[in-house]
Structure 1
Protein backbone atom coordinates (compact mmCIF):
# COMPACT_ATOMS: atom_id res chain seq x y z
CA UNK A 1 0.00 0.00 0.00
CA UNK A 2 2.88 2.37 0.82
CA UNK A 3 4.40 1.83 -2.63
CA UNK A 4 1.06 2.66 -4.22
CA UNK A 5 0.69 5.91 -2.24
CA UNK A 6 4.34 6.82 -2.90
CA UNK A 7 3.81 6.21 -6.63
CA UNK A 8 0.70 8.40 -6.68
CA UNK A 9 2.50 11.24 -4.85
CA UNK A 10 5.51 10.97 -7.16
CA UNK A 11 3.31 11.11 -10.26
CA UNK A 12 1.41 14.04 -8.79
CA UNK A 13 4.64 15.97 -8.26
CA UNK A 14 5.84 15.23 -11.78
CA UNK A 15 2.64 16.42 -13.40
CA UNK A 16 2.25 19.49 -11.20
CA UNK A 17 5.63 20.98 -12.08
CA UNK A 18 5.69 24.18 -14.07
CA UNK A 19 5.85 23.73 -17.81
CA UNK A 20 7.97 26.87 -18.13
CA UNK A 21 5.16 29.29 -18.95
CA UNK A 22 6.04 32.81 -17.89
CA UNK A 23 3.66 34.16 -15.28
CA UNK A 24 3.27 37.95 -15.40
CA UNK A 25 1.74 39.12 -12.15
CA UNK A 26 2.36 42.87 -12.18
CA UNK A 27 3.31 45.47 -14.77
CA UNK A 28 4.78 48.43 -12.87
CA UNK A 29 6.44 51.29 -14.74
CA UNK A 30 5.15 54.41 -12.94
CA UNK A 31 8.53 55.08 -11.27
CA UNK A 32 10.50 54.55 -14.51
CA UNK A 33 11.45 57.48 -16.78
CA UNK A 34 10.16 57.74 -20.32
CA UNK A 35 12.75 57.33 -23.11
CA UNK A 36 12.76 57.73 -26.88
CA UNK A 37 15.28 57.52 -29.71
CA UNK A 38 14.35 60.72 -31.52
CA UNK A 39 12.82 63.75 -29.85
CA UNK A 40 9.02 63.56 -30.08
CA UNK A 41 7.50 65.67 -32.82
CA UNK A 42 4.06 67.13 -33.29
CA UNK A 43 1.64 65.61 -35.76
CA UNK A 44 3.66 62.43 -36.30
CA UNK A 45 3.73 58.93 -34.86
CA UNK A 46 6.18 58.67 -31.97
CA UNK A 47 7.83 55.63 -30.37
CA UNK A 48 8.42 55.92 -26.62
CA UNK A 49 9.38 53.32 -24.08
CA UNK A 50 10.12 52.66 -20.44
CA UNK A 51 12.75 50.13 -19.41
CA UNK A 52 12.76 48.39 -16.04
CA UNK A 53 15.86 46.14 -16.17
CA UNK A 54 14.70 43.02 -18.06
CA UNK A 55 11.30 44.33 -19.12
CA UNK A 56 10.00 47.18 -21.25
CA UNK A 57 6.73 49.01 -21.83
CA UNK A 58 6.54 50.35 -25.38
CA UNK A 59 4.13 53.03 -26.60
CA UNK A 60 3.66 53.67 -30.31
CA UNK A 61 1.60 56.87 -30.46
CA UNK A 62 -0.86 57.54 -33.21
CA UNK A 63 0.18 60.31 -35.59
CA UNK A 64 -1.18 63.68 -34.49
CA UNK A 65 -1.77 62.84 -30.81
CA UNK A 66 1.01 65.25 -29.86
CA UNK A 67 -0.77 68.16 -31.47
CA UNK A 68 0.03 71.84 -31.73
CA UNK A 69 -2.17 72.85 -28.85
CA UNK A 70 -3.35 76.41 -28.41
CA UNK A 71 -1.23 78.93 -26.57
CA UNK A 72 -2.99 79.71 -23.29
CA UNK A 73 -5.29 76.65 -23.34
CA UNK A 74 -4.92 73.06 -22.19
CA UNK A 75 -5.92 70.55 -24.88
CA UNK A 76 -6.73 66.90 -24.10
CA UNK A 77 -6.40 64.35 -26.91
CA UNK A 78 -7.37 60.68 -26.67
CA UNK A 79 -6.17 57.74 -28.72
CA UNK A 80 -7.67 54.25 -28.46
CA UNK A 81 -5.59 51.13 -27.91
CA UNK A 82 -5.01 49.11 -30.07
CA UNK A 83 -6.94 50.85 -32.87
CA UNK A 84 -4.94 54.07 -33.01
CA UNK A 85 -1.98 53.71 -30.63
CA UNK A 86 -0.28 50.55 -29.44
CA UNK A 87 1.03 49.55 -25.99
CA UNK A 88 3.31 46.51 -25.77
CA UNK A 89 4.89 44.82 -22.76
CA UNK A 90 8.06 42.77 -23.30
CA UNK A 91 10.08 40.55 -21.00
CA UNK A 92 13.73 39.97 -21.97
CA UNK A 93 16.28 37.28 -21.17
CA UNK A 94 18.50 39.89 -19.48
CA UNK A 95 18.63 43.62 -18.72
CA UNK A 96 17.97 45.80 -21.75
CA UNK A 97 18.90 49.42 -22.51
CA UNK A 98 17.79 52.00 -25.06
CA UNK A 99 20.26 50.63 -27.64
CA UNK A 100 17.84 47.77 -28.11
CA UNK A 101 15.26 50.22 -29.48
CA UNK A 102 17.50 52.89 -31.00
CA UNK A 103 20.36 51.14 -32.82
CA UNK A 104 20.11 51.07 -36.63
CA UNK A 105 21.13 47.41 -36.54
CA UNK A 106 19.10 45.61 -33.86
CA UNK A 107 21.03 43.94 -31.07
CA UNK A 108 20.96 40.15 -30.84
CA UNK A 109 21.03 39.93 -27.04
CA UNK A 110 19.00 40.08 -24.89
CA UNK A 111 16.23 38.10 -26.51
CA UNK A 112 12.50 38.60 -26.05
CA UNK A 113 11.08 35.91 -23.75
CA UNK A 114 7.50 37.14 -23.83
CA UNK A 115 5.56 39.91 -25.56
CA UNK A 116 2.00 40.97 -24.80
CA UNK A 117 0.16 43.64 -26.80
CA UNK A 118 -2.59 45.62 -25.05
CA UNK A 119 -6.04 44.66 -26.28
CA UNK A 120 -7.97 47.59 -24.82
CA UNK A 121 -7.50 51.01 -23.26
CA UNK A 122 -6.87 54.64 -23.95
CA UNK A 123 -3.86 56.94 -24.27
CA UNK A 124 -4.66 60.42 -22.98
CA UNK A 125 -2.39 63.34 -23.84
CA UNK A 126 -2.83 66.67 -22.08
CA UNK A 127 -1.04 69.48 -23.97
CA UNK A 128 -0.23 72.89 -22.49
CA UNK A 129 2.29 75.67 -22.92
CA UNK A 130 5.41 75.22 -20.77
CA UNK A 131 5.36 77.47 -17.69
CA UNK A 132 8.89 78.78 -18.09
CA UNK A 133 9.30 78.69 -21.87
CA UNK A 134 6.76 80.07 -24.35
CA UNK A 135 8.45 78.16 -27.22
CA UNK A 136 7.57 74.70 -25.85
CA UNK A 137 4.43 72.63 -25.44
CA UNK A 138 4.40 70.09 -22.61
CA UNK A 139 2.53 66.85 -23.28
CA UNK A 140 1.53 64.75 -20.23
CA UNK A 141 0.86 61.19 -21.41
CA UNK A 142 -1.40 58.93 -19.33
CA UNK A 143 -2.70 55.41 -19.90
CA UNK A 144 -6.23 54.48 -18.89
CA UNK A 145 -7.93 51.10 -18.82
CA UNK A 146 -5.01 49.31 -20.48
CA UNK A 147 -5.79 45.60 -20.65
CA UNK A 148 -3.24 42.92 -21.49
CA UNK A 149 -4.23 39.32 -22.22
CA UNK A 150 -1.40 36.77 -22.28
CA UNK A 151 -1.03 34.00 -24.84
CA UNK A 152 -2.67 31.52 -22.48
CA UNK A 153 -5.69 33.82 -22.02
CA UNK A 154 -4.84 35.28 -18.62
CA UNK A 155 -5.82 38.92 -18.17
CA UNK A 156 -3.27 41.14 -16.46
CA UNK A 157 -5.18 43.51 -14.24
CA UNK A 158 -2.60 44.56 -11.64
CA UNK A 159 -1.23 47.51 -13.61
CA UNK A 160 0.77 50.42 -12.25
CA UNK A 161 1.32 52.34 -15.48
CA UNK A 162 -1.17 55.20 -15.28
CA UNK A 163 1.31 58.04 -15.78
CA UNK A 164 3.42 57.18 -18.82
CA UNK A 165 5.44 60.40 -18.82
CA UNK A 166 5.93 63.92 -20.06
CA UNK A 167 7.50 65.07 -23.33
CA UNK A 168 7.94 68.48 -24.94
CA UNK A 169 7.63 69.76 -28.51
CA UNK A 170 8.28 73.19 -29.94
CA UNK A 171 5.56 75.75 -30.56
CA UNK A 172 5.23 76.33 -34.32
CA UNK A 173 6.14 79.78 -35.61
Structure 2
Protein backbone atom coordinates (compact mmCIF):
# COMPACT_ATOMS: atom_id res chain seq x y z
CA UNK A 1 0.00 0.00 0.00
CA UNK A 2 2.85 2.33 0.87
CA UNK A 3 4.49 1.82 -2.56
CA UNK A 4 1.16 2.58 -4.21
CA UNK A 5 0.76 5.88 -2.32
CA UNK A 6 4.36 6.93 -3.08
CA UNK A 7 3.92 6.10 -6.77
CA UNK A 8 0.74 8.21 -6.92
CA UNK A 9 2.45 11.11 -5.11
CA UNK A 10 5.44 10.80 -7.44
CA UNK A 11 3.14 10.93 -10.47
CA UNK A 12 1.41 14.05 -9.13
CA UNK A 13 4.76 15.76 -8.56
CA UNK A 14 5.96 14.90 -12.06
CA UNK A 15 2.73 16.06 -13.68
CA UNK A 16 2.68 19.32 -11.74
CA UNK A 17 6.16 20.42 -12.82
CA UNK A 18 6.47 23.55 -14.94
CA UNK A 19 6.34 23.06 -18.68
CA UNK A 20 9.11 25.63 -19.09
CA UNK A 21 6.89 28.70 -19.41
CA UNK A 22 8.33 31.86 -17.93
CA UNK A 23 6.65 32.79 -14.66
CA UNK A 24 6.85 36.31 -13.31
CA UNK A 25 6.84 36.08 -9.54
CA UNK A 26 7.61 39.65 -8.52
CA UNK A 27 8.18 43.03 -10.11
CA UNK A 28 10.54 45.15 -8.02
CA UNK A 29 11.83 48.50 -9.29
CA UNK A 30 11.59 50.76 -6.23
CA UNK A 31 15.36 50.80 -5.67
CA UNK A 32 16.16 51.48 -9.35
CA UNK A 33 16.77 55.00 -10.71
CA UNK A 34 14.46 56.55 -13.27
CA UNK A 35 15.92 57.17 -16.76
CA UNK A 36 14.80 58.97 -19.91
CA UNK A 37 16.25 59.72 -23.34
CA UNK A 38 15.29 63.38 -23.56
CA UNK A 39 14.47 65.83 -20.79
CA UNK A 40 10.81 65.50 -19.74
CA UNK A 41 8.58 68.11 -21.37
CA UNK A 42 5.25 69.21 -19.85
CA UNK A 43 3.70 69.80 -23.31
CA UNK A 44 4.34 66.37 -24.86
CA UNK A 45 4.03 62.71 -23.95
CA UNK A 46 7.10 61.38 -22.14
CA UNK A 47 8.77 57.97 -22.03
CA UNK A 48 10.42 57.19 -18.69
CA UNK A 49 11.92 53.84 -17.78
CA UNK A 50 13.70 51.87 -15.10
CA UNK A 51 16.16 49.09 -15.89
CA UNK A 52 16.94 46.27 -13.47
CA UNK A 53 19.49 43.99 -15.21
CA UNK A 54 17.41 42.06 -17.79
CA UNK A 55 14.08 43.67 -16.85
CA UNK A 56 12.59 47.07 -17.64
CA UNK A 57 9.57 48.99 -16.42
CA UNK A 58 8.45 51.53 -19.01
CA UNK A 59 6.11 54.43 -18.26
CA UNK A 60 4.58 56.39 -21.12
CA UNK A 61 2.99 59.52 -19.69
CA UNK A 62 0.14 61.17 -21.55
CA UNK A 63 0.80 64.58 -23.09
CA UNK A 64 0.46 67.46 -20.64
CA UNK A 65 0.32 65.36 -17.46
CA UNK A 66 3.58 66.86 -16.20
CA UNK A 67 1.73 70.04 -15.25
CA UNK A 68 4.12 72.83 -14.42
CA UNK A 69 1.92 73.75 -11.51
CA UNK A 70 1.86 76.98 -9.61
CA UNK A 71 4.83 78.51 -7.83
CA UNK A 72 4.23 78.24 -4.08
CA UNK A 73 1.66 75.41 -4.34
CA UNK A 74 1.77 71.63 -4.63
CA UNK A 75 -0.33 70.30 -7.51
CA UNK A 76 -1.44 66.66 -7.69
CA UNK A 77 -2.34 65.23 -11.09
CA UNK A 78 -3.64 61.73 -11.84
CA UNK A 79 -3.47 59.82 -15.11
CA UNK A 80 -5.39 56.55 -15.52
CA UNK A 81 -3.76 53.39 -16.86
CA UNK A 82 -4.14 52.21 -19.63
CA UNK A 83 -6.55 54.81 -21.07
CA UNK A 84 -4.28 57.86 -20.63
CA UNK A 85 -0.81 56.60 -19.62
CA UNK A 86 0.75 53.18 -20.12
CA UNK A 87 2.94 51.00 -17.89
CA UNK A 88 4.79 48.10 -19.54
CA UNK A 89 6.99 45.42 -17.98
CA UNK A 90 9.55 43.70 -20.21
CA UNK A 91 11.92 40.81 -19.67
CA UNK A 92 14.93 40.64 -21.99
CA UNK A 93 17.16 37.76 -23.07
CA UNK A 94 20.12 39.40 -21.29
CA UNK A 95 20.99 42.61 -19.44
CA UNK A 96 19.74 45.75 -21.14
CA UNK A 97 20.92 49.36 -21.00
CA UNK A 98 19.42 52.71 -21.97
CA UNK A 99 20.78 52.45 -25.54
CA UNK A 100 17.98 49.96 -26.18
CA UNK A 101 15.45 52.73 -25.53
CA UNK A 102 17.41 55.79 -26.70
CA UNK A 103 19.16 54.77 -29.94
CA UNK A 104 17.33 55.61 -33.18
CA UNK A 105 17.71 51.97 -34.19
CA UNK A 106 17.58 49.70 -31.13
CA UNK A 107 20.39 47.14 -30.84
CA UNK A 108 19.68 43.63 -32.15
CA UNK A 109 20.35 42.16 -28.73
CA UNK A 110 19.03 41.78 -26.17
CA UNK A 111 15.66 40.60 -27.41
CA UNK A 112 12.32 40.85 -25.62
CA UNK A 113 11.47 37.50 -24.01
CA UNK A 114 8.17 38.62 -22.45
CA UNK A 115 6.13 41.83 -22.31
CA UNK A 116 3.13 42.58 -20.12
CA UNK A 117 1.11 45.80 -20.21
CA UNK A 118 -0.73 47.11 -17.17
CA UNK A 119 -4.49 46.71 -17.42
CA UNK A 120 -5.49 48.92 -14.51
CA UNK A 121 -4.14 51.53 -12.13
CA UNK A 122 -3.13 55.16 -11.99
CA UNK A 123 -0.08 57.37 -12.26
CA UNK A 124 -0.07 60.07 -9.60
CA UNK A 125 2.19 63.09 -10.03
CA UNK A 126 2.88 65.55 -7.23
CA UNK A 127 4.38 68.76 -8.61
CA UNK A 128 6.14 71.43 -6.54
CA UNK A 129 8.83 74.05 -6.99
CA UNK A 130 12.28 72.74 -6.12
CA UNK A 131 13.05 74.24 -2.68
CA UNK A 132 16.76 74.41 -3.58
CA UNK A 133 16.30 75.86 -7.08
CA UNK A 134 13.28 78.08 -7.75
CA UNK A 135 13.85 77.77 -11.51
CA UNK A 136 12.61 74.17 -11.71
CA UNK A 137 9.66 72.02 -10.73
CA UNK A 138 10.04 68.58 -9.16
CA UNK A 139 7.49 66.00 -10.30
CA UNK A 140 7.26 63.03 -7.89
CA UNK A 141 5.75 60.14 -9.86
CA UNK A 142 3.98 57.29 -8.04
CA UNK A 143 2.09 54.27 -9.33
CA UNK A 144 -1.13 53.18 -7.63
CA UNK A 145 -3.16 50.02 -8.12
CA UNK A 146 -1.13 48.86 -11.11
CA UNK A 147 -2.39 45.48 -12.27
CA UNK A 148 -0.58 43.29 -14.78
CA UNK A 149 -2.21 40.26 -16.38
CA UNK A 150 0.01 37.87 -18.36
CA UNK A 151 -0.92 36.28 -21.67
CA UNK A 152 -1.89 33.16 -19.70
CA UNK A 153 -4.41 35.21 -17.72
CA UNK A 154 -2.35 35.17 -14.51
CA UNK A 155 -2.52 38.35 -12.45
CA UNK A 156 0.78 39.65 -11.09
CA UNK A 157 0.10 40.90 -7.61
CA UNK A 158 3.54 40.95 -5.95
CA UNK A 159 4.46 44.46 -7.08
CA UNK A 160 7.07 46.70 -5.53
CA UNK A 161 6.80 49.67 -7.85
CA UNK A 162 4.84 52.31 -5.94
CA UNK A 163 7.49 55.05 -6.11
CA UNK A 164 8.50 55.51 -9.74
CA UNK A 165 10.76 58.50 -9.17
CA UNK A 166 11.31 62.23 -9.61
CA UNK A 167 11.82 64.26 -12.77
CA UNK A 168 12.43 67.96 -13.20
CA UNK A 169 11.11 70.54 -15.62
CA UNK A 170 11.92 74.24 -15.90
CA UNK A 171 9.64 76.89 -14.43
CA UNK A 172 8.32 78.83 -17.45
**Shared fold, TM over 0.5:** yes
TM score, norm. by length of structure 2: 0.92
- For the residues of structure 2 that align with 1:102 and 1:18, how far apart are their CA atoms? 36
What does the per-residue CA deviation read over 1:93-149, in whole Å, with 9 as the maximum and x for residues that have no partner?
100000000001111101111000000000000000000111100000000000000
Residue ranges of structure 2 left out of the alignment (5+ in a row): none
- For the residues of structure 2 that align with 1:73 and 1:6, how far apart are their CA atoms? 69
Partner of 2:66: 66
Matched residues, number: 171
Q: Does 1:168 align with 2:146?
A: no
- For the residues of structure 2 that align with 1:145 and 1:16, how far apart are their CA atoms? 31
- For the residues of structure 1 that align with 2:30 and 2:142, how far apart are their CA atoms? 10
Residue ranges of structure 1 left out of the alignment (5+ in a row): none
Q: Which residues in structure 2 correspond to 1:126-165 (within 5 Å)?
A: 126-165=126-165
- For the residues of structure 2 that align with 1:126 and 1:10, how far apart are their CA atoms? 55
Q: Which residues in structure 2 correspond to 1:1-173 (within 5 Å)?
A: 15-172=15-172
Asked whether the 8 Å contact 1:66–1:125 carries over to 2, the reply is yes
Asked whether the 8 Å contact 1:43–1:68 carries over to 2, the reply is no
| C-alpha RMSD of matched pairs (Å) | 2.0
TM score, norm. by length of structure 1: 0.91
